[in-house]
Every structure is written in structure tokens, then in C-alpha cells.
Structure 1
Amino acid sequence: MSWRIHHVSLPARYVRETADFYNQILGMKENSPPWKAKERGDFPIDEQNVAWFDDGKTQLHLARHSGNFCIDNNFHIDPIVNGHVAIEVDDLDAVRERLRSRNIYFADPGNWALNGVEQIYVMDPASNAVEINCRPR
């Protein structure tokens, strides 16, 4: 199975100040997120809460924690509070099966937030939130 880093999401209490740092210091251009219209997850997506950088290969997301993410989205994993890494794989069903066979809990919202991307969320043994995603074949 192939994989690549899709994005890293960093928590940011002050999203605009943090986004300005990445823009002004590293020259990273902020982009608009490709949210799923009306079907995305329930979290605030205005520019005070989310910033998005994409170089065409890898993305950096900055997100301010809403406080109620798990309740609002019926997740037992909060990928925003401490950030997460997102790994894109070519066979998400195989990953789901491996997790199930080891009795490892994962949130499986399907195509939840991003256009054309299925996502699952799991905690690794070091308690890091990991998004594993795949574009439909």
C-alpha cells in the first residue's frame, strides 16, 4: 500500500496571527479550503478559526479548537485540540480492516469534510490523533 503525508493540522489559539507568521516568514500562500458544501463536519470555518496552506503536494491547516468538537460531530476523537497528521493511503478499506482486526477504535465519518476525500480518525499508541484518508478510486 502506498502512502504520503496529506496534511498536518496544527492547533492555533490565534489563527490569523499564526497564519501571518507562515505567510510572512516562510512565504507560504494561504488558500481557501475546499470544504464539502453543506455536508462538511460541524466546526467553525471562518478565517478567525481556520487557515489553509496548500503547495499542491502537501497542506498545512491551522485550526482553533471550538470546545465541543466531539459532541458536535459525534466523534470520540478530537483531531483539532492537539492537532493531527493526515496520511493519504490508496486503500482505506484495508486500513479499516486492520484496525477492526486489532479492536482499535476509529471514527469513520466517510466523506465528511473535504470534497472527494474519505476520512477516518484514530489515536496512535502515543495518543496522537491521526487522520487517514483516501480519494475514491
Structure 2
Amino acid sequence: MIEFQYIHHMSLAVRDIEVSRVFYSDVLQFQEIERPPFDSVGIWYALGNQQLHLIEQPQGETLRQGDIDSTDGHLAIWVKSYSETLKWLDQQQVFYEARPHSLAGFAQIYILDPDHNIIELDAPYEAE
């Protein structure tokens, strides 16, 4: 039997690492962490005790083309405040799909990174 402890990281393919750095470092303000000197081009981020690894794949087969589709593969991150997250996204001019009364049992916000990777931002329901 395998005894799982936690998810260590998720990797996303991106077309241009510098465009992605602006989005993840500046817009979303993720904390960049040291990355080993692999032959590939990439950036690592700390997300609490887990990590997000971006790997540049200009011609990669896993790159999405479409709009937000919550049934497609995505990265989900729990955030502290639904309303504060919406305010930040508005300030940063990031398009989102908000689901304040999601059937999931918590509020959801979906955004796309520059390569159309789907990011779900989850938070507790808020009183209106």
C-alpha cells in the first residue's frame, strides 16, 4: 500500500516563461523559489506547503487554447477572502468567472493565465 502524505507540486506548461513570470509573480504575487539548474526553462513558486512549477514548452502538446471550462484540468487554490480576491483581480484587470454560490460548498472564481491554464480560486461563502 502507498501511504500518501500530501501533494508536493503541480506543473503547468507555458509558452513564454517571462510572460508567465509577470502574471504569476506580479499579478497574482506568488512567491518565487529557487529552482535546480535543469536543462529546461522554468520557474517554481511556493503555495503554502505545496509548489507550482511552470515549464516553458513553446510547442508543447498540453497547451490549452480555449476559454474557462471548469470541467477541464485546473489548479485550485484556497484564498482567504472571496470579495478581496475579486477586488484584486479587478484592480489587476484580470478577467474572471465568479461563482459566489457554487454548488461545491464554497465560493469559486475562475481565471486563465496567459497560456489559458485554468486557475480556480476558492474561498468560504460570504454574506451579501
TM-score normalized by the length of structure 2 = 0.43
Higher relative CO (CA 8 A, sep ≥ 6), structure 1 or 2?
A: 1
Normalized against structure 1, the TM-score is what?
Answer: 0.40
